[in-house]
């Protein structure tokens, strides 16, 4: 390993990989450090077998017991094989009652490719309106439900550039990552053209969703998914033969052993892996950055056996997921309180870690009626989406501040273990709980339960902007340490009253789609997180180091460069000032391609 690189990139997911891809191909020397393992698809694995498997024990593993000194000490948890072990490196959340819990987020994987290995692959653009929510909510006559103190208008932020700036990078991401989908009926301009591969035939259970959306006059489209359905020239990947072979319910929270799912490893990093100017070091934990004036001088990390090492980069990119990126910057500030700290903290403006966001997230779920039953194991994660709830007219009429995509899930409850362990669970922290307590479901009653629900589950999700609130933030926990003895991330977060109003309305829309689509058995709807889970994270973690044009109101400038440094960029989801009305991965990737272009002209 050399000592100095043009670029050192921390994290190999959606925020880091596009920059590595672009700059390595331009001949820059790039070192990528990833905390997690390098797990290869079977066509690359020297043993001929991938470390990702179609095995329900990998997405949600065996029981482990929390040993940390927090409120849920002693409780069981069940994590994926590429999620951090909670006892080793937890994220701690402050609950509504002030006590602290360790919790599982779901998609912040520690693996080369990051969350793009585990995600369902939903790859939506944000709408032009998603990036101009301050303008919209400060228009004359704007009125919102659940906002008695008129806070949302003041909290809303426009992004520092319009959708048109991001559009060509969306197209680039769609081209290079490998996404199947449909442009028609999306409420976003596709100025650079349609870069999607063809979607596969939808699972017949989704016919109900289509019918429900049609009945409500909601234009719909096939959900864009980061799964290739045919050969993908940019990454050199062979597509599934036939395309239908890509369908398996081992998709959401599973890495893909076949490499059809377009993780950043197979799509963006594999094409550069053999370049002499690109080095990827997996299983390496970056502990802190050190600075010399306005320059990041060294990146300090631990080799896979814990041996300390350091390296320097002319430019340093931090992209290890919103919570961990903020944590890394805060840990670096803690180590150097007179040098690094005042520069990253902007002389104490309180912005680093502030305005942490997830999504307003929820939906509706039900079972199709007997005798209907479908093979949900031949599926991708989602079939139909609608931007109906993104329309300005909808926002104005519903008195909500921002829009949302609505789409159905087809891979949920598709496999036998998932059917049981998700029964009655509210999130990943309560998995198995409902089933465990339903001890009456046994023998004939267990047969009846399976008969009732096997191949019948259908759910609809909305993904909406959460109101940015400064007190929603990422800190360092005062007492809990990771396995290296470093303070862990501490998340303090609640929903604004307008978020609650918005979630109620949108979950109602999801419910209406199911009802109008004729799916009513055991119907339920609402926000995903109930009262006790107020402080918990959804699976999308965003904000905490937002970008903006005003350095007193942001951590990063519009180029994602830290205001206080010359050569430090942060490009995972923490740059977002608002969380968008859609899953964030494609926007993180598009923004990183944008930053890559800026960097190409600077280094």
Interacting residues with other proteins between 293 and 332 (CB under 8 A):
302-307
Q: Is 602 left (phi over 0), alpha (psi -120 to 50) or beta?
A: alpha
Stretch that binds other proteins, among 11-19, 217-225, 248-256, 578-586 (CB under 8 A): 248-256
DSSP string of 477-499, one letter each residue: EEEEE-TTSPEEEEEE----HHH
Nearer to other proteins, 349 or 377 (CB): 377
Q: Which of 18, 36, 121, 160 binds other proteins (CB under 8 A)?
A: 36
Nearer to other proteins, 294 or 448 (CB): 448
User: What Å distances lie between residue 368 and 42, 220, 414, CA to CA?
Assistant: 37, 21, 13
Q: Which of 135, 446, 471, 479 binds other proteins (CB under 8 A)?
A: 446
Helix (H, G, I), strand (E, B) or coil at 461: strand
- Give the span between the Cα atoms of 470 and 362, in whole angstroms: 23
- Give the span between the Cα atoms of 301 and 74, in whole angstroms: 31
Does residue 274 contact residue 292 with C-beta atoms inside 8 Å?
A: no
Tell me how many degrees the CA angle 11-237-240 measures, rounded to the nearest 5.
120
- Give the span between the Cα atoms of 549 and 159, in whole angstroms: 9
Q: Which of 8, 14, 20, 38 binds other proteins (CB under 8 A)?
A: 38
3-state helix, strand, coil in the chain (%, to 5): 30, 20, 50
Q: Which of 250, 529, 563, 575 binds other proteins (CB under 8 A)?
A: 250
Residue 546 beta carbon to other proteins: minimum distance, rounded to whole angstroms: 31
Nearer to other proteins, 140 or 306 (CB): 306
Stretch that binds other proteins, among 3-11, 46-54, 399-407, 535-543 (CB under 8 A): 46-54
Nearer to other proteins, 402 or 428 (CB): 428
Q: Which of 442, 470, 522, 552 binds other proteins (CB under 8 A)?
A: 442
Q: Which of 462, 464, 540 is nearest to 508 (CA)?
A: 462
**Residues between 455 and 514 with contacts to other proteins, criterion CB under 8 A:** 455, 483-485
Residue 260 beta carbon to other proteins: minimum distance, rounded to whole angstroms: 10
**Residues between 513 and 532 with contacts to other proteins, criterion CB under 8 A:** none
What token pair was written down for 161?
């550039």
What token pair was written down for 370?
């007997």
Note whether 241 binds other proteins by CB under 8 A.
Answer: yes
Nearer to other proteins, 200 or 509 (CB): 200
Note whether 397 binds other proteins by CB under 8 A.
Answer: no
Note whether 39 binds other proteins by CB under 8 A.
Answer: yes
Note whether 2 binds other proteins by CB under 8 A.
Answer: no
Nearer to other proteins, 55 or 550 (CB): 55
- Give the span between the Cα atoms of 383 and 221, in whole angstroms: 8
Stretch that binds other proteins, among 94-102, 432-440, 494-502, 567-575 (CB under 8 A): 432-440
Note whether 227 binds other proteins by CB under 8 A.
Answer: no
Residue 367 beta carbon to other proteins: minimum distance, rounded to whole angstroms: 13
Stretch that binds other proteins, among 180-188, 399-407, 413-421, 577-585 (CB under 8 A): 413-421
Residue 601: Cβ within 10 Å count: 6
Residue 124 beta carbon to other proteins: minimum distance, rounded to whole angstroms: 27
Stretch that binds other proteins, among 83-91, 143-151, 332-340, 403-411 (CB under 8 A): 83-91
Note whether 164 binds other proteins by CB under 8 A.
Answer: no
What token pair was written down for 141?
């006559």
- Give the span between the Cα atoms of 290 and 175, in whole angstroms: 37
The count of chain residues that interact with other proteins, using the rule CB under 8 A, is 73
**What are 295-303's contacts with CB under 8 Å, separation 24+?**
295/565, 295/566, 295/567, 296/565, 296/567, 296/568, 299/8, 299/10, 299/33, 301/33, 302/484
Note whether 420 binds other proteins by CB under 8 A.
Answer: yes
User: What Å distances lie between residue 537 and 58, 92, 427, 445, CA to CA?
Assistant: 22, 10, 10, 35
The answer to whether the peptide bond before residue 242 is cis (omega within 30 degrees of 0) is: yes
Nearer to other proteins, 217 or 308 (CB): 308
Judged on CB neighbours under 10 Å (0-12, 13-18, 19+), 76 is middle
Stretch that binds other proteins, among 143-151, 281-289, 321-329, 508-516 (CB under 8 A): 281-289
Nearer to other proteins, 107 or 250 (CB): 250
């Amino acid at each position: 390993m050399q000592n100095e690189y043009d670029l050192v990139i921390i994290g190999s997911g959606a925020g880091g990989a596009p920059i590595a891809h672009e700059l390595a191909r331009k001949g820059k020397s790039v070192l990528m450090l990833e905390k997690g393992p390098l797990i290869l698809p079977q066509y690359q694995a020297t043993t001929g077998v991938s470390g990702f498997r179609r095995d329900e024990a990998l997405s949600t593993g065996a029981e482990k017991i929390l040993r940390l000194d927090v409120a849920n000490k002693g409780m069981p948890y069940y994590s994926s094989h590429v999620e951090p072990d909670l006892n080793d490196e937890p994220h701690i959340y402050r609950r509504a009652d002030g006590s602290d819990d360790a919790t599982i987020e779901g998609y912040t994987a520690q693996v080369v490719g990051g969350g793009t290995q585990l995600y369902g692959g939903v790859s939506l653009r944000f709408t032009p309106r998603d990036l101009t929510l301050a303008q919209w909510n400060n228009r004359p006559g704007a009125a919102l439900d659940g906002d008695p103190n008129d806070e949302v208008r003041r909290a809303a932020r426009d992004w520092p550039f319009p959708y048109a700036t991001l559009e060509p990078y969306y197209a680039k991401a769609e081209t290079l990552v490998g996404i199947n989908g449909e442009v028609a009926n999306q409420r976003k301009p596709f100025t650079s053209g349609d870069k999607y591969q063809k979607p596969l035939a939808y699972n017949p259970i989704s016919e109900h969703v289509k019918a429900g959306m049609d009945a409500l006059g909601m234009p719909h489209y096939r959900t864009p998914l980061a799964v290739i359905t045919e050969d993908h020239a940019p990454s050199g990947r062979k597509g599934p033969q036939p395309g239908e072979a890509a369908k398996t319910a081992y998709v959401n929270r599973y890495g893909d052993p076949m490499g059809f799912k377009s993780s950043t490893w197979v799509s963006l990093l594999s094409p550069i892996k053999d370049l002499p100017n690109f080095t990827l070091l997996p299983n390496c934990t970056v502990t802190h950055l050190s600075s010399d004036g306005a320059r990041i001088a060294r990146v300090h990390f631990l080799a896979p056996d814990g041996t300390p090492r350091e390296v320097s980069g002319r430019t340093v990119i931090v992209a290890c997921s919103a919570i961990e990126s903020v944590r890394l910057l805060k840990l670096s500030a803690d180590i150097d309180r007179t040098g690094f700290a005042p520069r990253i903290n902007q002389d104490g403006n309180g912005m680093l870690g502030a305005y942490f966001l997830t999504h307003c997230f929820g939906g509706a779920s039900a079972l199709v009626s007997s005798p209907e039953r479908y093979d949900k194991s031949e599926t991708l994660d989602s079939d139909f989406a609608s931007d109906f709830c993104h329309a300005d007219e909808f926002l104005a009429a519903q008195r909500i501040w921002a829009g949302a995509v609505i789409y159905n899930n087809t891979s949920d409850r598709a496999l036998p273990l998932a059917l049981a362990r998700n029964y009655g669970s509210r999130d990943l922290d309560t998995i198995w709980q409902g089933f465990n307590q339903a001890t009456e479901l046994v023998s004939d009653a267990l047969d009846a339960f399976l008969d009732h629900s096997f191949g019948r589950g259908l759910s609809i999700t909305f993904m909406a902007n959460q109101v940015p609130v400064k007190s929603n933030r990422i800190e360092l926990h005062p007492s809990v340490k990771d396995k290296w003895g470093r303070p862990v991330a501490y998340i303090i977060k609640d929903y604004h009253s307008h978020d609650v109003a918005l979630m109620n309305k949108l979950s109602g829309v999801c419910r209406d789609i199911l009802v109008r689509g004729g799916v009513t058995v055991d119907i339920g709807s609402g926000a995903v997180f109930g009262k006790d889970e107020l402080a918990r994270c959804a699976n999308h973690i965003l904000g905490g180091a937002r970008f903006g044009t005003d350095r007193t109101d942001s951590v990063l400038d519009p180029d994602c460069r830290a205001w206080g440094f010359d050569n430090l960029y942060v490009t995972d989801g923490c740059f977002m000032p608002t969380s968008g009305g859609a899953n964030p991965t494609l926007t993180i990737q598009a923004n990183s391609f944008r930053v890559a272009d800026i960097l190409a002209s600077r280094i």
